[in-house]
Structure 1
Amino acid sequence: MDKIEYYEFRRDLYFFDLVSCFSVSLCGCPIIFDARIPLFLEPNQSISFPGKFTSPKHMSPHRLRAVAESNATSKSSHIASCCIMLANTAYESVKDYNDGSELFEFFRHIRNASSHLNTFQFNQREPAHPAKWRGATIDHRQKGQHNPLFGQQCFGHFMGVADLLDLLMDIEKKIIELQEKS
């Protein structure tokens, strides 16, 4: 049996809190999307979340499961939405470190696809610069709608969960390198 590789983000770096919240959501999604897993609350029970300016909001795991069972949402769309939120927030939290490298340019395009409902959108001048990460390339020679990624889904098609987590780890390493140089 292959050894399982667990990822771990350092608490003192940029993405620990974001990735922790992301991980909790992904680890919790089988409870909603797999009817074989018993729910921890009774059908008439809910979880309450207070507001500062509005009344509390209540969420029922049983109702969420009913939505999932009606095919109004799916595990894959949930995972893609979580990736979108993580990519957007992660990029915005470190964009001041963008050094114009191929790695950061790749990250910028992933964030932009996330901001466009998980779809690559390029104007007539984009992609403007080389964008590479590990074995993935976003061709900067083909602009706008002529780019083969234009209109394609980012998460679920171009990248997966593991790719996003490794990309964030590589971005943290890049930022550390940049800080050590300055």
Structure 2
Amino acid sequence: MSKDVEYYAFRQDLYFYDLVSSFSVSLCGCPAIFDTQIPFFLSPQQNLSFPGQFTSAKHMNPYSLRRLAELEQIDKGAHIAWCCIMLANTAYESVRRFHDGSPEFEFFRHIRNASSHLNVFQFNHREPAHPAMWRTAVIDDRLKGEDNPLFGQQCFGSFLGVADLLDLLMDIERKIIIQLQQ
């Protein structure tokens, strides 16, 4: 298997496979909107339709999105960060019941919280309350609230990148597998 498709390291029968696959599709579609050298969506007449259950179908016009990107009214880096935010939030909520108090799960919880606060680390006066680390990344639990150096800082695009999030999810999924085997 190619290193380019490491997201297949997620087991289909566990928690993150569908989330990571959808995330990957979105990121792989970025060039169609953000790279003007790619000859997709050149016609304003091309629409994509998405049905509703309770409302009429909604139509999206990729050409319009591409124009917004050309006018710098939407940004590839911001798109990627928002995709990370959605993935981190949903992934954490889908497995929060497995939170074992470990530094890795605490780290994941803080990443999820930053995601829920528009990609910005926010700590109340008691947080971070417990050791939070993953691999070599540390969220210092000795410095609380606004005294924490991460307070007010961006999570995705600054502190973590796409590859970090995917590896964090792989590590969390491995922890869950071990918990389930005990």
TM-score normalised by L of structure 1: 0.95
Which position in structure 1 is the counterpart of 2:100? 99
1:141 to partner: Cα distance: 0.3
1:42 to partner: Cα distance: 2.9
Answer yes or no: is 1:20 the counterpart of 2:21.
yes
Which position in structure 2 is the counterpart of 1:159? 160
TM-score normalised by L of structure 2: 0.95
How far apart, in 2, do the equivalents of 1:5 and 1:26 lie? 13
How far apart, in 1, do the equivalents of 2:20 and 2:46 lie? 29
How far apart, in 2, do the equivalents of 1:144 and 1:93 lie? 27
- Check the 8 A contact 2:41/2:63 in 1, yes or no: no
Aligned length: 179
Give the partner amino acid of 1:115.
S
Give the partner amino acid of 2:27.
L
Which position in structure 2 is the counterpart of 1:136? 137
Which position in structure 2 is the counterpart of 1:59? 60
RMSD: 1.2
- String of CA shifts for 1:32-79, please: whole Å, max 9, x gaps: 000110115632120011111212111111001011111111100000
- String of CA shifts for 1:127-155, please: whole Å, max 9, x gaps: 00000100000000000000000000000
How far apart, in 2, do the equivalents of 1:52 and 1:70 lie? 34
Give the partner amino acid of 1:37.
I
Kindly report structure 1 stretches of 4+ aligned residues shifted beyond 3 Å: 3-6
Answer yes or no: is 1:72 the counterpart of 2:81.
no
Which position in structure 2 is the counterpart of 1:87? 88
The worse-fitting range, judged by mean Cα deviation, of 37-46 and 53-62 is 37-46
Which position in structure 1 is the counterpart of 2:178? 177
* Structure 1: 5+ residue stretches without partners: none
Counterpart of 1:6 in 2: which secondary structure? helix
